[in-house]
Structure 1
Amino acid sequence: MASIAYVRVSTEEQSTGTQRVCIEERHKVDRWFCDEATSGAIKAKDRKGLSELLGYVREGDTVIVYAIDRLGRNTIDVLETVEALGSKGVAVLSLREGFDMSTPMGKAMLTMLSAMAELERSNIKERQMQGIKRAKAEGKALGREKIINDSEVALWRQENSASIKATAMHFGISSASVKRACQAIKQAS
């Protein structure tokens, strides 16, 4: 019977440190699984760390997560993950919500909290889209201000017979920015 922890953050700017500390304060963890810069919108089975966890756990193990939303953002996916763990005889504990998801009451709470979290994310997305629509109607420019001179990038690349990667390194920009710059000049011609 092992205690297994799973932590996840959505972006490279975030750290799993807080989740790890909170879990370590309450539990002695035998094995850690982690997904960094991995959106919860990606199905559990498609996340490397969670997929490895699912293959590793054994009957009698306990999986500890900082919060339910670390398992995923979609209610059905979270429920399927918990069910898959439960079918292997694995208990799932959520620290923030404070319940064991392998019990009948825990499953009921999980379903309600997951549904509420999904509803809140939908509401946030709706408000965001309304804000974007309003800003466009007011004529406001959206997105970051463009700082790349497409002509300069495309010309340098052509004159130096440079690869996209070399051009990106020369200008200190991403490969995608080089591709967009070259495509914009090509379309303008």
Structure 2
Amino acid sequence: MSKIGYIRVSTEHQETARQEALMKQYQVERIFAEKLSGKNTDRPELKAMLEYVRDGDTLYIESISRLGRSTRDLLNIIDVLQQKRVTLVSSKENIDTNTPQGRFVLSIFAALSELEREQTLQRQREGIAIAKAQGKYKGRQPIPINWKRFSHLYEQWKSGTITAVEFRNQMGLRSNTFYRRLDEYKRKYNK
């Protein structure tokens, strides 16, 4: 019977110190931490934690939103924990799934967490629509390209002197942007 902690923040720039302090208060023995969005369950440390926990363990989290943002994802995670007979304790919501009340409250908070995320996305979409209507939002600006340099590297790539990865890296482009620019170049110069 171990005390396990799961810590998550959404971006690399956010700090985990507050959650780490909470884990010390709970005297957890193992912490799984990551800096990734909670929009889905495709998170390495979440998966590792779910594989690691076993019958009799207690999982401590700062808030249910740290586990997941959608009700479906959260309930699936809770289901895995229940199948493994792992107790979940959430500090912020004061939830302990060892009790029927804790399990009930958890399902309510999961629904509220999903509602909050959907409302945030809706407000974002509405704000962008208003900004577009006012001519203030143009979307993401394209990365400027030195077409002369691109053309030179393109010829080297076509002749087999450099690889596509070297071409892309020398242009300083990410993979998706590189291939979009490659298509644009071919259309523009009939290559």
Q: TM-score range by the shorter chain?
A: 0.7 to 0.9
1:137-186 residue CA offsets vs partner (Å, 9 max, x unmatched): 22334334334226245313213323332233323332333222222222
1:163 & 1:63 partners in 2: Cα distance? 47
2:100 aligned partner, one-letter code: P
Q: State the Cα distance separating 1:15 from its structure 2 match.
A: 4.1
Q: Which residue of 1 aligns with 2:4?
A: 4
Q: Which residue of 2 aligns with 1:164?
A: 164
Cα distance change, pair 148–117 in 1 and its aligned pair in 2 (3 A): same
User: Among residues 96, 99, 109, which one is paired with 2:92 in the alignment?
Assistant: 96
Provide the TM-score with structure 1 as the length reference: 0.84
Cα distance change, pair 55–176 in 1 and its aligned pair in 2 (3 A): same
Preserved CA contact (<8 Å) 1:154 1:181: no
Q: Percent identity?
A: 36
1:69-89 residue CA offsets vs partner (Å, 9 max, x unmatched): 111111122122123212322
Preserved CA contact (<8 Å) 1:150 1:182: no
Report the count of equivalent residues.
185
1:3 & 1:147 partners in 2: Cα distance? 48
Q: Which residue of 2 aligns with 1:186?
A: 186
Instruction: For structure 2, list consecutive stretches of 5 or more residues without a partner in the other structure.
Output: none
Preserved CA contact (<8 Å) 1:150 1:181: no
Preserved CA contact (<8 Å) 2:153 2:167: yes
Q: Which residue of 2 aligns with 1:33?
A: 32
Query: Is 2:126 the counterpart of 1:145?
Result: no
User: Among residues 74, 78, 82, which one is paired with 2:70 in the alignment?
Assistant: 74
Moved over 4 A (4+): none
1:25-47 residue CA offsets vs partner (Å, 9 max, x unmatched): x111211223333x32223xx43
Preserved CA contact (<8 Å) 2:40 2:73: no
Q: Which residue of 2 aligns with 1:42?
A: 40
Instruction: For structure 1, list consecutive stretches of 5 or more residues without a partner in the other structure.
Output: none
3-state secondary structure, aligned to 1:35: strand
Query: Is 2:151 the counterpart of 1:155?
Result: yes
1:120 & 1:141 partners in 2: Cα distance? 25
Provide the TM-score with structure 2 as the length reference: 0.83
Query: Is 2:83 the counterpart of 1:87?
Result: yes
1:65 & 1:116 partners in 2: Cα distance? 17
1:42 aligned partner, one-letter code: N
The root-mean-square deviation of aligned C-alpha atoms, in Å, is 2.2
Preserved CA contact (<8 Å) 1:5 1:32: yes
